[in-house]
Amino acid sequence: MPAMPVSYTHLTLPTNYLEITGALVGLIYLWLEYRASIYLWIAGIIMPAIYIFVYYQAGLYADFGINIYYLLAAAYGWMVWMRGSEKETRAELPITHTPLKRYLPLLLVFLAAFFGIAWILIRFTDSNVPWLDSFTTALSIIGMWMLARKYVEQWWAWIVVDVVCCGLYIYKELYFTSALYGLYSIIAIFGYFKWKQMMHYESK
């Protein structure tokens, strides 16, 4: 898909069809993530390619921008999961807890992204929800990196993001996307416990 901003009047699919398609791909992505399947990264490339258009039209510019990051992060995640652990180079990367030493750097990255994105949105765009938009974007950056490293606590980040996004997209009248994120928030809770169970079995 073209990277430049375009009007939906120039697309062959109406806006709501794109939103529905993105929601369906999102469900596939979530199911694959729940199962900790490496193929989630394929859906992780397709979904942001669709939502680049949806979010730009809705005026969610930070979400528009982060989907470019998602495309790159999906490629990174695929390579990291394929490479596996240092001890077992032929095995997929195992599910682990986030090392304590990672939390402070992650917090600093989140704060820098949060205030930086908010400043950009307030100064250079017409976004009417700059703080919520920047919050979900900054936390999504953290969650996506944690997912790429296969840390079980990545689900914590997504639970918060999904709940906030559910309300935000209702406000933006993106109802299919809001329903998707409402479902995300529920399944993310189950996903956390599923990954903990899988991590327990992997450690045996």
pLDDT at 2: 25
**175 CB-near residues (< 8 Å, 6+ apart):** 169
> Domain residues of the chain, as ranges?
13-85+98-202
Higher pLDDT, 199 or 4: 199
**Which residue, 170, 136, 141, is CA-closest to 154?**
141
pLDDT digits (tens, 9 = 90+) for 49-82: 888 887 787 777 767 877 888 888 888 898 888 8
Residue 4, pLDDT above cutoff 60? no
> Could you tell me the two tokens for 162?
């999904």
Average pLDDT over residues 127-149: 90
pLDDT digits (tens, 9 = 90+) for 104-118: 999 999 999 999 999
Q: How many CA atoms lie within 13 A of 129 on its CB side?
A: 20
pLDDT at 204: 63
pLDDT at 144: 92
Among 8-12, 114-118, 166-170, which stretch is predicted with the lowest mean pLDDT?
8-12
DSSP class of residue 149 equals T
Percent helix, strand, coil in the chain, to 5, is 75, 0, 25
**What phi, psi does 194 have (nearest 5°)?**
-65, -45
How high does pLDDT run on average in the chain?
82
Percent over 70 (pLDDT), the chain: 86
Among 10-14, 33-37, 117-121, 192-196, which stretch is predicted with the lowest mean pLDDT?
10-14
**18 CB-near residues (< 8 Å, 6+ apart):** 8, 11, 50, 53, 54
Q: What pTM does this model have?
A: 0.79
pLDDT digits (tens, 9 = 90+) for 21-49: 877 888 898 889 888 888 999 998 888 88
